[in-house]
Amino acid sequence: MISIVVPTYREADNLALLTQAVDEALSGPGLDYELLFIDDDSRDGSEEICAELSARFPVRIVVRNGERGLATAVIHGISMAAGDIVVVMDADLSHPASAIPEMIGRLQSGESDFVLGSRYVEGGSIHDDWSAFRQLNSIIPSLMAKPLCPLEDPMSGFFAIRRTEMPPADQLSPVGYKIALEIFVKGRFSQPSEVPIHFSDRQHGESKLSLKEQLNFLRHLVRLYAYKLRLGRET
Ligand SMILES: Nc1nc2c(ncn2[C@@H]2O[C@H](COP(=O)(O)OP(=O)(O)OP(=O)(O)O)[C@@H](O)[C@H]2O)c(=O)[nH]1
Ligand SMILES: [Mg+2]
């Protein structure tokens, strides 16, 4: 069974579209799945929409009260997942559900133990009208993380792992947005790989990527470098 974990904050208009896309991608090849939305009390109709969807699809929504944050929502979702394999993706349809079978196929065959959906490998792409600023804003963080992670797009937010390979929650100190990077750095992954994806721009709802989150990313990066240095000294 595969658990698709999706952090959501005010994504009501995207939930049905994402559910249909996931179902089309997974039911076609006969894959058994659950779709788990981890919602931070959006109060935008998300709960009601999920209740309707759950009559037709294996969808669940978990509403957190009094807590906000993409990274902690992802960790919470993984801890509640029932599947052996966990796929994390955004709700805004930026990540193509059609890439999921290839991602989980690599885990199942043993070819890879950490699979990223990647914009920056051959065959991957972003929308052509991204401004130079937006492109730099996406590429520079990946370059800053290069010594921590050999992959081209650790910030894509779209990844798949075996649930048992998740590092223990008490070792994680999630701040902000980039939980895949922390899971990679603190886990014991030896065969990471990337599946090319086309990253679409969101059509509904608003981006939650604020300047504050970008500054959080810098704090997060400093902590991860400190962790790596400590580990290097201990081993
Ligand atoms: N549970 C939860 N989910 C969040 C939170 N912030 C963002 N998300 C979700 O995380 C995913 C990514 O957020 P986006 O706002 O699309 O951020 P982004 O993809 O980096 O930025 P854009 O490219 O501008 O869309 C979406 O599914 C959001 O709904 C949060 O505080 N809590
Ligand atoms: Mg987005």
Which one, of 91, 121, 93, 95, lies nearest residue 195 by Cα? Answer: 121
Which one of the ligands is nearest to 8 CA?
A: 1
Q: What pLDDT score does 235 carry?
A: 62
Using a 6 Å cutoff on CB, does residue 9 contact ligand 1?
yes
The CATH class given to the 2-234 domain equals alpha beta
Whole-number Å distance, alpha carbon 10 to ligand 2 midpoint, is 12
Reported residue count of the chain is 235
Q: What pLDDT score does 128 carry?
A: 83
Using a 6 Å cutoff on CB, does residue 94 contact ligand 1?
yes
DSSP states of 63-129: E-SS---HHHHHHHHHHH--SSEEEE--SSS-S-GGGHHHHHHHHHHTS-SEEEEESSSTT-EE-TT
For residue 176, what pLDDT band results from cuts at 50, 70 and 90? low
For residue 134, what pLDDT band results from cuts at 50, 70 and 90? confident
Q: What pLDDT score does 214 carry?
A: 83
pLDDT at 211 over 70: yes
**Digit-coded pLDDT (tens) for 21-55:** 999 999 989 999 999 999 999 999 999 999 999 99
**Digit-coded pLDDT (tens) for 51-99:** 999 999 999 999 999 889 999 999 999 999 999 999 999 999 999 999 9
pTM for this prediction? 0.95
pLDDT at 177 over 80: no
- Domain borders along the chain are 2-234
| pLDDT above 70: percentage of residues in the chain | 98
Q: What pLDDT score does 130 carry?
A: 87
Nearest-CA residue for ligand 1 atom 18 is 209
DSSP states of 21-76: HHHHHHHTTT--EEEEEEE----SSHHHHHHHHTTTS-EEEEE-SS---HHHHHHH
- C-alpha 213/C-alpha 1 separation (Å) is 33
Which one, of 122, 155, 123, 116, lies nearest residue 138 by Cα? Answer: 155
